C-alpha cells in the first residue's frame, strides 16, 4: 500500500490534491485537506505533480 502524506509545513491547503485525485484518497475535514483513504491510491502521482508547494508525497 502506498504511503500518502501531506507535509503540514509545506501545505497551504489549496486542496488541489483533493480536486485532482479520482480515487478519493483525500478529504476536506473542517476546511482542511487530509489523507483519508490511502489504501485507494493507485500511485498515479497526479497529486504530487499538481501540488504547487511540493507538500504531497507518495512512498
Ligand atoms: S497518486 Fe493519484 S491516486 Fe494516489 S493520492 Fe495521488 S492523485 Fe490520488
Domain ranges across the chain: 4-53
Beta bridge partners of residue 17, listed in sequence order: none
d(CA 57, CA 59): 6
* CB-based contact 49:56 (threshold 8 Å): no
Q: Give the pLDDT confidence score for residue 1 in this predicted structure.
A: 84
3-class DSSP state of 39: helix
CA atoms within 13 A on the CB side of 5: 8
Closest to 4 (Cα-Cα) out of 14, 13, 17:
17
4-53 CATH? 3.30.70.20
Ligand 1 atom at shortest distance from the alpha carbon of 26: 5
- C-alpha 35 – ligand 1 centre gap (Å): 10
Question: pTM, whole model, 2 decimals?
Answer: 0.95
Tens-place pLDDT, residues 8-55: 999 999 999 999 999 999 999 999 999 999 999 999 999 999 999 999
**Atom from ligand 1 closest to the CA of residue 40:** 3
Amino acid at each position: 500500500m502506498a504511503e500518502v502524506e501531506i507535509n503540514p509545513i509545506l501545505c497551504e491547503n489549496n486542496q488541489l490534491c483533493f480536486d485532482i485525485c479520482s480515487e478519493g484518497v483525500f478529504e476536506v475535514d473542517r476546511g482542511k485537506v487530509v489523507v483519508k483513504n490511502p489504501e485507494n491510491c493507485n500511485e498515479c502521482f497526479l497529486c504530487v505533480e499538481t501540488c504547487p508547494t511540493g507538500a504531497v508525497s507518495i512512498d
